[in-house]
Amino acid sequence: MTIDLSGGIDLSRESVFARRPDNPGMRDAVNVWIESADASFGMRIGIEALAEQWDGHDIWLDIAFANGRVLSFRETHAPLPALDESGRPTIRGAGPLRFQCHEPFRRWSACFRGMAPETTAAQLARGELCNAPLPVAVEFDLDMTMAVPPWVPGSLVQEAGQALTGEQGGFMSPRYEQLFRVQGSLRVGDRILDVQGNGLRIRRQGVRRLEGFWGHCWQSAVFPSGKAFGFMVYPPRDDGQPTFNEGYTFDGSGVLQPARAVGIPWLDRLQTSGDTVSFVLETARGEVSVEGETFINTRSVNKGSAILPPDFPIVQQAHARYRWGGEQSCGMIERSSPPGKISN
């Protein structure tokens, strides 16, 4: 059975905004997670173009090595031209970072030329920022080939879709995500690495509101055979109202199969690696058990942020080895919890 890698989404959704949107709060964002096939490093790359600050796009880059070394880049730069040589709005870039859509829902690329400050996963877990971090030269050219149809949160499970009609939909914002294969090259200082692995691309266009957000768990991976999983779930609410819980499995062909996550590995501590992040997905075909363990953890440092609310949960971005049946692969995991629910 052939795979419709658009998932039925109009191909125009892959185009970027060519100019500043009129709607206040509107954003145009591209984010990717990447894991090397040998679990030696992971990357998180993103750009956010906000209507109110259109002349300065926020860009970030995290390169986290399994030995605990992390390069963590956060800067704002003037946007690059959005139109490609054919006049199509396919480029979202700023300063040293450039994303481009070459074929909607099939092929994207990312490149970077710049300097990134160096820190460690242990320092990030302690909430420490270096006063004068050592900058390291970083260059990469990455080619991303989509492998799984996109998932639009709220489109597979009726209850999940209903949950997103209110406040919880504001946390998510209009978006879809898609797993891919990646290859390319990465230079960090004098070291040149061959990039072969997997990743997840998130495409977001819309308004996002984070006030009142109380946490989440988000995991995904694609395996050598082509099968894949993904899910996101919000923790139970104090008022007992339903919370968002939706995911999918994919057998390598056809369409995404709806799923709900149970046995969720909520974030309750901060460490550099070795967290057990196993879970179970309930599907119409039965339960799917996936074993997982992080090979490198990093986290956003929220202290003094002018963007996030002061009571915003601590967010941990990490990369994990996953085992599903007889197959192994690497994928992403992002979790957040209020500070009071984290033991260290």
Chain segment 233-282, per-residue pLDDT in tens: 999 988 888 899 999 999 999 999 999 999 999 999 999 999 999 999 99
What distance in Å separates the CA atoms of residue 62 and residue 72, rounded to the nearest whole number? 5
> Residue 178 in 3-state DSSP?
strand
Mean pLDDT of 49-67: 96
Q: From 178, 169, 239, 223, select the one nearest 203 (Cα to Cα).
A: 178
How many CB atoms within 10 Å of residue 240? Answer: 7
Q: Which residues pair with 34 in a beta bridge?
A: 43, 199
- Please state which of the ranges 107-111, 160-164, 166-170 shows the lowest mean pLDDT: 166-170
Q: What is the CATH number of domain 11-341?
A: 2.40.370.10
Give the per-residue pLDDT at 193: 97
Please tell me the total number of residues recorded for the chain in this structure: 344
Domain ranges of the chain: 11-341
Mean pLDDT of 9-34: 96
